Amino acid sequence: MVEIVDRDSQLTITIRRAQRFADWFQTVMVFLIWLLAEQTLFRLALDVMWEAVNQDPNTEVGPRLLVLGMWTAVGLALGYWRMWVHFGQEVLQVDHSALTVVRQALLFRRQEKYLRAQIDNLGVSPFWPGGLAFRYNDPQTQQSMAQVVARGISPEESRKVIWRIQEKFPYHWKR
């Protein structure tokens, strides 16, 4: 869902993720499988530690704790990613001098600012279905990198967003 708000000297474009039942179902199933495996690994690690402390001091605890730690890290990373799928939104703030992209989901927020003078070829992403693509010449690293923002919107919505940007700032945001 794309919402465009035209203010005096700024265009604010908010992109929210579409909520689908299949996404929620997949998230719940993945979480339940992860939780079952986490509980099993935790019990195995406790059994090995109990055995090492009380019965056989030569029992190796390290590999099982390592697997438990890695599995926990994978679960946290999956949870973070799924949170972005369900609650994430992207806000593009366009003015005469910069494009600011704010990605936020619940309590997490990340902001990137791209200077207008360093942006070339603003258009619909050819690599991602929909989204806005441009080449950014980073002044700090002296490298030119392709950037894609507003992922997940349709190509038609992308063209509409680009048209609105170029209509609002005709001399600053040419294609």
Q: What residues form DSSP beta bridges with 120?
A: 135
CA pair distance 144, 35, nearest whole angstrom: 43
Per-residue pLDDT, averaged over 35-48, amounts to 87
- Alpha-carbon torsion (170, 118, 103, 15), positive or negative: positive
Q: What are phi and psi of 10, to 5 degrees?
A: -145, 145
Which pTM does this prediction carry?
0.69
Q: Given this model, what pLDDT does residue 100 score?
A: 93
Q: Given this model, what pLDDT does residue 79 score?
A: 85
Q: Given this model, what pLDDT does residue 173 score?
A: 63
Q: Given this model, what pLDDT does residue 73 score?
A: 92
Going from N- to C-terminal start, the domains of the chain cover 2-17+90-168, 21-86
Per-residue model confidence as pLDDT tens digits over 58-111: 777 778 788 888 989 998 888 888 887 788 888 999 998 899 999 888 888 899
Q: Residues 18, 79, 21, CA angle at the centre, nearest 5°?
A: 35
CA pair distance 173, 102, nearest whole angstrom: 19
